[in-house]
C-alpha cells in the first residue's frame, strides 16, 4: 500500500489548490487564506538497476541508481533514498532501508536465493516529499563458486606455490641452493653452549600471541631445534607461556625434541609453564624469571608488542646473551638495540629450513626468492608506469599503473 500514499497525497493537494474545484464550492464567508506554492517532489534518478551481488555466497541483491539531479553537489533537495522490495513489478512493496544522500548503491542482504525480486528507489525530499522510481528487476540472488575479485590473488598464490614446490622437488634431487649466512641462527649453537658451560638455564619466550599466529608456529620450529640441543647438552630450558594452548604445544614440541635427541629424561614438564594472558602480567612473570633464574641465554622468537623492550632490557641487565626474532617491524628496532642478534622478518620463517640444512627445505627458500623477484618486477614496472603516466598524462599508462598496484590489493 505504500506506493499509493504519494498518489493520494498528490490527489488531496490537487483538490485543495485546484481553482476549478474552488469555483464549485460555495463562497467562503471570510476572505480565503493565501495558498502557498506547492513544493515539487525531488527529481527521480535517471537509472535504477538491481542485480545479484557478485562474488558472494548468495542471499544478497545489489541495487544501484544514478544520483537524483536534486542530489547534485551544492543542492540540498534530497534527504535520502528509501529502498523498496517487492515480489513482482506490481508489489506489494516493503521498505528495506534508507541510504543517505550521495549514495548510489545499496545491498539487500535478506534476499532468498532463486526468488525473483523487484526494487524501487524512493527519492526522499524536504517536507516529506517523495518520488518513486519505476520498478527495477527481476533480480535473482544466487551463490557463486568462485570469487572473481580474488582471481589475481589465486594466480599469484598458484605461481608462488608452484615455485616453492618446484624448488623443493629440485632440492630433493640434490640441488641444494646457496643460502646466505644468518648470524642470529648461527649464534644459537654458541648461545646454547654458553649456557651449558655456565651451568645456567636457557630462557625461551615463544612470543605473546596464540597458537594460530604464524610467528608462534615458526617459533615452535626454532624451539624444537633449541630443545634438541639443550637436551643433548643436558641444559635446562625454561619456557614461560602466555597462552595455555601455546604451553601445551611447547610441551609436546620439547618432549618430542628430547626423544629425538635420545634424551627423554631431559624433558622437564614443569619448566614449560603458563604465566598469564594479560600482557604486562605475563611480562612481569617472565621478567621475574629472568631476574631470579639469571639464564645465560635468552631467546625471544615470535610476535611481540610493547613487552619486547622490557624483556630484552631485563635480559641485557643480567648479562645474558640474547637472540630475538620477530616479524613485527615496530618491535625490530628495540630488539636490535637490546639484543646481540636479531632475526628480521622473513629470517624467522627461514629458520627451520636453515637450521635443518636439508636441501628440500632449503629449496623452499629459493621458491620464496622467486616470489620476491615477481614482487620486485611488479614494483619496478608499476613505478615506471606511474611515473610515465604522471609525466605524459597518458590514461593508458595510468590504467596500467593502477592495475599493477591492484595486484597487491587483497579484497
Partner 1 sequence: MKRTVPLVITFTVGALLIVAYFIPHWPFARLRDDFNTFFDVIAAFAYIVGGGNLIRMHGRRAARQEAGWGYSLVCLAGFLAMLAFGLTKVFWREGAPGWDLQGDLNDSTLLFKRGYDNIFRPCSATFYALLAFFIASASYRAFRARNVEATLLLVTALVILLGRTFVGTLMTGWLPPSLEFLSIPQLSNWIMSVPNQAGNRAIMIGVALGIVSLSLKVILGIDRSHLGEKD
- Interaction with partner 1 in 341-380: which residues (CB under 8 A)? 344-346, 348-350, 352-353, 355-356, 360-361, 364-365, 367-368, 371-372, 375
> Least distance from C-beta 136 to partner 1, angstroms?
24
Considering only 7-15, 85-93, 199-207, 329-337, which stretch makes contact with partner 1 by CB under 8 A?
A: 329-337
Binding residue (CB under 8 A) for partner 1 from 48, 195, 220, 296: 220
The nearer residue to partner 1, 133 or 308, going by C-beta atoms, is 308
> Which run of H or of E encompasses 204?
strand 202-205
Binding residue (CB under 8 A) for partner 1 from 78, 136, 224, 239: 224
User: Quick check: 319 binds partner 1 (CB under 8 A)?
Assistant: no
The nearer residue to partner 1, 64 or 378, going by C-beta atoms, is 378
Question: Which residues does residue 136 pair with via DSSP β-bridges, in sequence order?
Answer: 119
Q: Which three cell numbers stand for residue 234?
A: 643436558
User: Quick check: 315 binds partner 1 (CB under 8 A)?
Assistant: no
For residue 53, with 0-12 CB atoms within 10 Å meaning exposed, 13-18 middle and 19 or more buried, which class applies?
buried
Q: Which three cell numbers stand for residue 380?
A: 619496478
Q: Which three cell numbers stand for residue 138?
A: 527481476
User: Quick check: 62 binds partner 1 (CB under 8 A)?
Assistant: no
User: Under a CB-based contact definition with an 8 Å cutoff, are residues 110 and 122 in contact?
Assistant: no
The nearer residue to partner 1, 43 or 362, going by C-beta atoms, is 362
Binding residue (CB under 8 A) for partner 1 from 8, 15, 280, 403: 280
> Least distance from C-beta 410 to partner 1, angstroms?
10
User: Quick check: 106 binds partner 1 (CB under 8 A)?
Assistant: no
d(CA 47, CA 65): 5
User: Quick check: 154 binds partner 1 (CB under 8 A)?
Assistant: yes
Which residues in 244-263 contact partner 1 (CB under 8 A)?
Answer: 244-245, 247-249, 252-253, 255-257, 259-260
User: Quick check: 318 binds partner 1 (CB under 8 A)?
Assistant: no
HSE-up (13 A, CA, CB side) for residue 247: 16
> Least distance from C-beta 215 to partner 1, angstroms?
8
User: What are the strands of the beta sheet with 321-326, ordered from one edge?
Assistant: 272-274, 237-241, 202-205, 297-301, 321-326, 341-344
User: What are the strands of the beta sheet with 61-65, ordered from one edge?
Assistant: 48-52, 61-65, 105-108
Q: How far is CA 212 from CA 274, 286, 294, 308, 339, in A?
A: 17, 22, 31, 20, 26
Which residue carries 618486477 as its cell? Answer: 377
Considering only 24-32, 63-71, 308-316, 396-404, which stretch makes contact with partner 1 by CB under 8 A?
A: 308-316
Q: What are phi and psi of 322, to 5 degrees?
A: -125, 135
Phi-psi region of 207 (alpha: psi -120 to 50; beta: other; left: phi over 0): left
Binding residue (CB under 8 A) for partner 1 from 313, 318, 384, 386: 313
Which residues in 12-31 contact partner 1 (CB under 8 A)?
Answer: none
Dihedral angle, C-alpha 349, 353, 356, 360, nearest 10 °: 160
User: Quick check: 112 binds partner 1 (CB under 8 A)?
Assistant: no
User: Quick check: 331 binds partner 1 (CB under 8 A)?
Assistant: no
Binding residue (CB under 8 A) for partner 1 from 173, 180, 292, 411: 292
> Least distance from C-beta 287 to partner 1, angstroms?
8
Amino acid at each position: 500500500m505504500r506506493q499509493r500514499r504519494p498518489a493520494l497525497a498528490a490527489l488531496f493537494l490537487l483538490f485543495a489548490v485546484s481553482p476549478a474545484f474552488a469555483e464549485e464550492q460555495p463562497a467562503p464567508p471570510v476572505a480565503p487564506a493565501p495558498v502557498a506554492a506547492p513544493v515539487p517532489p525531488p527529481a527521480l534518478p535517471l537509472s535504477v538497476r538491481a542485480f545479484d551481488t557478485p562474488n558472494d555466497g548468495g542471499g544478497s541483491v545489489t541495487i544501484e541508481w544514478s544520483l537524483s539531479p536534486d542530489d547534485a553537489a551544492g543542492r540540498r533537495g534530497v534527504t535520502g533514498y528509501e529502498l523498496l522490495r517487492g515480489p513482482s513489478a506490481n508489489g506489494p512493496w516493503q521498505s528495506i532501508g534508507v541510504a543517505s544522500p550521495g549514495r548510489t548503491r545499496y545491498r539487500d542482504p535478506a534476499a532468498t536465493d532463486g526468488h525473483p525480486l523487484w526494487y524501487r528507489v524512493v527519492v526522499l525530499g524536504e517536507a516529506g516529499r517523495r518520488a518513486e522510481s519505476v520498478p527495477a528487476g527481476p533480480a535473482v540472488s544466487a551463490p557463486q563458486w568462485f570469487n572473481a575479485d580474488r582471481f589475481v590473488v589465486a594466480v599469484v598464490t598458484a605461481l608462488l606455490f608452484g615455485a616453492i614446490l618446484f624448488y623443493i622437488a629440485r632440492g630433493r634431487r640434490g640441488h641444494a641452493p646457496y643460502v646466505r649466512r644468518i648470524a642470529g641462527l648461527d649464534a644459537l649453537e654458541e648461545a646454547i653452549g654458553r649456557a651449558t658451560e655456565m651451568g645456567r638455564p636457557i630462557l625461551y619466550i615463544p612470543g605473546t600471541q596464540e597458537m594460530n599466529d604464524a610467528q608462534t608456529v615458526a617459533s615452535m620450529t626454532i624451539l624444537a631445534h633449541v630443545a634438541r640441543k639443550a637436551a643433548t647438552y643436558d641444559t635446562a630450558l625454561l619456557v614461560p607461556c602466555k597462552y595455555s594452548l601455546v604451553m601445551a604445544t611447547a610441551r609436546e614440541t620439547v618432549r618430542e625434541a628430547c626423544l629425538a635427541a635420545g634424551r627423554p629424561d631431559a624433558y622437564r614438564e614443569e619448566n614449560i609453564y603458563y604465566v598469564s594472558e594479560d600482557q604486562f602480567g605475563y611480562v612481569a612473570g617472565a621478567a621475574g624469571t629472568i631476574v631470579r633464574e639469571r639464564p645465560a641465554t635468552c631467546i625471544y622468537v615470535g610476535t611481540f608488542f610493547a613487552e619486547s623492550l622490557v624483556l630484552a632490557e631485563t635480559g641485557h641487565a643480567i648479562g645474558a646473551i640474547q637472540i630475538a626474532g620477530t616479524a613485527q617491524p615496530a618491535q625490530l628496532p628495540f630488539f636490535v638495540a637490546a639484543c646481540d642478534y636479531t632475526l628480521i622478518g622473513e629470517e624467522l620463517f627461514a629458520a627451520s629450513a636453515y637450521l635443518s640444512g636439508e636441501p628440500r627445505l632449503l629449496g623452499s627458500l629459493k621458491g620464496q626468492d622467486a616470489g620476491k623477484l615477481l614482487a620486485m618486477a611488479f614494483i619496478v614496472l608499476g613505478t615506471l608506469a606511474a611515473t610515465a603516466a604522471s609525466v605524459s598524462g597518458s590514461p593508458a599508462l595510468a590504467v596500467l599503473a593502477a592495475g599493477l598496484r591492484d595486484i597487491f590489493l587483497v579484497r
